[in-house]
A and B are shown apart, each in its own frame.
Chain A
Amino acid sequence: MPGQDMRLTISTSPHLHSQDTVPMAMKDVLIALLPVTVISIYMYRFYAVFLIAVCMLSAIVFELVFRKVMKKEATLFDCSALVTGLLLALCLRPGTAWWVAVLATFFAVGIAKELMGGLGWNRFNPALFGLVAITLLAPLYVGINPSFALVRPSFGSLDVITQATPLALMKQGAFGQLSLSQMLIASPGGALGETSALALIIGGIYLLYKKHISWHIPISIIGTVLVVSAIWTPAGIAAGIPLFHVMAGGVLIGAFFMATDWVTSPITTKGQIIFGIAIGILVMIFRNGLASTEGVAFSILIMNAFVPMIDRLTRRPKFGEIAFGEAAVPAKPSVSKSS
């Protein structure tokens, strides 16, 4: 054609694009996890460094291997494997055997994500899936554990590692040993990611500020945990038990980093609030009723399964389907298009 200039790009509208990309969002999640990562390394030293390195490296390897075997393009650039690896490491306790960590990553990245079709198609939060898988399999591998004894690195002993978790302390009625302000800033006990409530909140605020997550899920989870625990044990309100429930045992990391996972949470804000409230209730049932230590992980995974149903139930009408301004509109015979 005359005048054709092949150097010009032809594409459909829109010709502008926001700065948001998946890799950028994932990098921001890594940044948001930095404070708690630093504190857990401060607390657990090499134990933390070791677990984080093992999980992140094996996440990369599993992603590469699975995509290669399934003959798909590598998608490492989206950084989602790194996020899953880091989140998983933060869910583990210091002293967890390296091969258990690798196994967890295999379940997380290999099974929960790549086998399900890759990022976007997974039904369950990969990191939590990995965590719950190794928790459920624990009885099976107690027997094999000693055979790995020779290949287990030793970083010397650190007495904080054997310290009871705050949740366990509370269960034993030793609540008095805990200080809320200590838990807020930094305290040992539990998984790597449970060492500092404040660090998690800072990370969560960063994600909110960057608009990668909205407030609906975290606030409805935290709010529900507060309210349910206050109703459950009214006597504990003065002692700060509701606050304690929020700060202990992974509620914060779950609320800000796990339940808000784009892929595995409801698509509408209404659905997100329902999702959050249900998780909050489940967490309290697990804690008060069933005495499970991985209550948060189980609660979120259970609700992940309900996401398609929540999405269906909260399907919103199109613009104009419910005429909000009907009263202002003069009654008119209905007409079809004027053309």
Chain B
Amino acid sequence: MSVKTFQRGVNVPHYKEFSEGQPISTIALPSEVIIPLQQHIGAPGQALVSVGDKVTAGQKIGESSAFVSAPIHASVDGTVTAVEPRPGFTGASVESVVIAVDLKQKEPQWTKRDHTAMSKDELKAAIKDAGIVGMGGAAFPTHVKLSPPSPIDTIVINACECEPFLTCDHRMMVEMTDALVEGAKLIAKVVDAPNVVFGVEINKPDAIKALQSKISGEKGLSVVNLEVKYPQGSEKQLIKAVLDREVPPGKLPLEVGVVVQNVATAIAVYEACHLNKPVIERVLTLSGDAAYSPGNLMVKIGTPISHVLKERGGARVAEASKERELSLPPDLVGKIIMGGPMTGWAQSNLSVPVVKGTSGILLFSPTMVTETEHSDCVRCGKCVEHCPMFLYPNYIGQYAELGNYAKAAEWGAIDCFECGICTYVCPANRPMVQFVRETKKEIAAAKAAK
């Protein structure tokens, strides 16, 4: 078996054992959902409903006329109780529609249609209407990505799931293989790409097997085995590994004839085209060394984190599970992260809702929380050795620390995609990702001022 990969990167512990064997399960509905009108990169949606309106699951409640945007749908039947800013996972407040959930929910009826008979434009319209965005976390509107100005020859399905702890893509590959393959073929059809490649890390042998048996005999479809290495699932590194093409700095994958989509996104595309079903729920991984009952959960968009924790017993304490009470004893939970541990966001407010890009909720015990002071760079070279973009994180950090952002940019801060490796490996504990973010902000501000 040949196994491909990219240069540099790093091996991080997987921690997948907590949840990789857990089939996707559903949780009870919360009493209230909070649906942000911006869950994507691009223009925020305008609310289409107002307080007191009755809404049904799948109804469009937010939209923007801008091309780079994605509509927002109600995830449950209920009544709008507020349209106001609410805290989001980044810490900033986002205009949100708050819906009190009806006790009696009708099972949503989706109207099946023959997706194979749909034209390219019909497919793209369906994808846009369903509000699909990159569900691996980037949340870039999918219909925009599928409108490339130049020809595309290959669709790469990002099935690496290289972030530790996360297993939701893995479970979907195993349990929803048909939808995944159909979705990938639909994406290829939209952009006229003759080839579809599934890039899977070899720590998911059951997923590789399921995919292989599903696509055997199909023309243009293939599975590529990838080494288990972080960040194998980053677009540029994935394309390099799978096709040996390098996307130039500052450019997009379409530059080399490729569009990358992740597993959950491909499945959403299938559901949008075949069932006319918008993105109102997603699979996410609840895990972490402090999680009482780790698993892969189908969760309605807008569900507060606190509800998910309550349903799954919160922290790893027996009492909590018995009483199904949200319990976060400070000696058991030190940090709650939305997303993966390498790129996710730490949360302090548990009313923050699950959005389209939420791939996981992680509970870390205090022993996993490494908050130590950083010291000066000791020039060990580890960050330089492992940076998958071949940047110089050491100099970026040193110059940003001195406030010399122009120099920090010169050493590559702008090309950094914040994978977190430099900070992970640094023996001096230097927070390079933070320095990179500062630099990007300062440089953008300086440009705007010109």
Contact = CB atoms under 8 A, between A and B. Distances in A.
A9 B369 contact: yes
**Interface SS of chain B: helix, strand, loop or mixed?**
loop
B336 interface: yes
Interface stretch (B57-65, B126-134, B348-356): B348-356
Interface stretch (A20-28, A103-111, A149-157, A221-229): A20-28
Contact of A120 (B342, B350, B378, B429): B378
B346 interface: yes
Contacts of A325: 240, 243-246, 256
Contacts of B54: none
B350 A9 contact: no
B424 A4 contact: no
Interface stretch (B103-111, B201-209, B389-397, B439-447): B389-397
A17 B423 contact: yes
Given A20-B382, A324-B244, A319 B257 contact: no
A7 interface: yes
Nearest to B419: A14
A15 interface: yes
Given A119-B378, A320-B236, A337 B252 contact: yes
Nearest to B426: A20
A339 B144 contact: yes
Interface in B369-393: 369-372, 375-382, 384-385, 388-392
B337 interface: yes
B346 A16 contact: no
A5 interface: yes
Nearest to A121: B376
Interface residues of B, number: 91
Interface string B132-150: 0000000000001101111
A318 B249 contact: yes
A325 B370 CA distance: 39
Contact of B347 (A8, A14, A17, A75): A8
Contact of B385 (A269, A324, A333, A334): A269
Contacts of A2: 349, 351
A3 B32 CA distance: 14
Contact of B381 (A4, A20, A267, A334): A267
Given A10-B346, A22-B378, A121-B376, A17 B429 contact: yes
A323 B350 CA distance: 45
A269 B8 CA distance: 13
A160 to B, nearest CB: 37
Given A8-B346, A8-B348, A119-B378, A319 B388 contact: yes
Interface residues of A, number: 62
Interface centre among A22, A25, A334 (most CB of B within 10 A): A22
Contacts of B306: 3
Interface in B396-446: 412, 415, 418, 420-421, 423-429, 431, 433-434, 437
Interface string A301-339: 000000000000001111111111110111011110111
Contacts of B433: 12-14
Contact of B247 (A11, A121, A320, A333): A320
Contacts of B12: 16, 18
A121 B240 CA distance: 36
A320 B246 contact: yes
Contacts of A14: 341-343, 420-421, 423-424, 433
Contacts of A6: 348
Contacts of A13: 339, 341-346, 418, 420, 433
A335 B149 contact: yes
Contact of B350 (A3, A16, A265, A334): A3
Contacts of B13: 16
B21 interface: no
Interface string B219-241: 00000000000000000100010
B145 A319 contact: no
A81 B339 CA distance: 41
B427 A22 contact: yes
Nearest to B87: A1
A13 B248 CA distance: 25
A265 B144 CA distance: 47
B376 A120 contact: yes
Contacts of B149: 335, 338
Given A21-B427, A320-B251, A335-B254, A75 B343 contact: no
A5 B329 CA distance: 11
B241 to A, nearest CB: 11
Contact of A318 (B153, B304, B382, B389): B389
B183 to A, nearest CB: 21
A22 B428 contact: yes
B384 A268 contact: yes
A262 to B, nearest CB: 4
A2 B149 CA distance: 46
Interface in A95-124: 117-121
B381 to A, nearest CB: 5
A263 to B, nearest CB: 5
A294 interface: no
Contacts of A332: 150-151, 255-257
B335 interface: yes
Contact of B390 (A21, A24, A319, A339): A319
Nearest to B256: A329
B82 interface: no
Interface string B84-113: 000100010000000000000000000000
B282 to A, nearest CB: 20
* Closest 3 pairs (CB-CB, A-B): A14-B420, A120-B376, A3-B351
10 contacts: A1-B349, A7-B328, A9-B369, A14-B423, A17-B370, A20-B425, A117-B376, A315-B392, A322-B246, A338-B148
Given A13-B343, A20-B382, A267-B392, 15 more contacts: A7-B330, A16-B342, A21-B372, A24-B427, A120-B375, A120-B378, A267-B394, A320-B236, A321-B249, A323-B246, A325-B243, A325-B256, A330-B153, A335-B255, A338-B254
